[in-house]
Structure 1
Amino acid sequence: MNSNLKCSCSAHASMQPVALAEALLAVHCTDCGGMVMAMDDWRAWKAVDPAREPHAIDDDVIEVFDATSVRHCPECDRLMQRLRVSAGPDFRIDRCIACQNLWFDQGEWRALVSRGLAGRLDELLSDGWQRRLQTEEVREVRLAALRRRYGNDCIDELDRIRAWLDTQPHRDELLALLRAD
């Protein structure tokens, strides 16, 4: 990782090397708390032992300060892509498509480590992961609308029936019976 980078925060501070895990380095802005890590460095770190994970973090509460604006890559100055970590109002990781650098706002790396996701960055940044999160979010919005419309008791009962139907060997026949006049 290039340690001569300047942060795009208001201080435009020089970034300092920081160890994210044993033999995994990034550069850190002491002003805003953000970090840049090269995906090539992470992949090389992971290649040594595919089961490798950063050390667990003992903090009960990890504060994440996710910037809402699009960030410029500290290396090439292109706009970075914002990728979701999980469904809902969680935080997003910024990735430079050209440089394959990742930007972690303050607390984001620690949150990834605490959730067991820091060793799964390739998966987390994949199109499949991002589509699954988008599908989950649409489903949650739809379910909330159905709960408002029909009430929690009704939707809970439907969930119970759906779970029971999923265990039945003749599920399709049972559904046909329900639909019959």
Structure 2
Amino acid sequence: MSKLMLMTMLGTLLGSAALFGQDSSSAGMQLSEDVVLRLFGRTRETVFTELLRVGRSEQPEFLEVFYAYAEEKMPVAQMRNLLLRTYNEKFQALDEPMLQNLTKNILKNDREFVDLQTRYYRRMIKVIGANRAAMFFQLDNYLDQSERLYLQTGLPFIRELETGRRIAATRLQPPGH
């Protein structure tokens, strides 16, 4: 039940058009912070330090790695958002070579992101141990996937799938529901 409530809250948050009323460079960061604040009622830094139970003695080194990771992640995430937005906004006008190039760039961006996480996983292990480093990236990936889901639900192909899924679900309901 709590999972359903969490997803409902996330859907409500991500459905808000006001989140993307900013330029693309600040919108991604604002979306990330808004997701964290709405879901957890705390800043991203606080969520990570509390959920990972980072002790006072570990905190300075943890935050140093945390902020370095966030800084390096920002341009990769912004590029991902730009690529997905480009696809969404120009979907009807894209020919096959352009779509192929765009898809290759999205895949390249995903590899860059995994490489970044791999580098920082090694650093996190040294600071907070393997167990909590794994938890760090589990939480980071959860938040990242939530943001990606929001962006992808606006893509034309995904909208078609969702519409078809809703129609099929309606047809499967017994009469009177």
- Report the structure, 1 or 2, having the larger strand content: 1
Higher normalized contact order (CA 8 Å, seq sep 6+, divided by chain length)? 2
User: Structure 2-normalised TM-score?
Assistant: 0.25
- Report the structure, 1 or 2, having the larger helix content: 2
User: Structure 1-normalised TM-score?
Assistant: 0.24
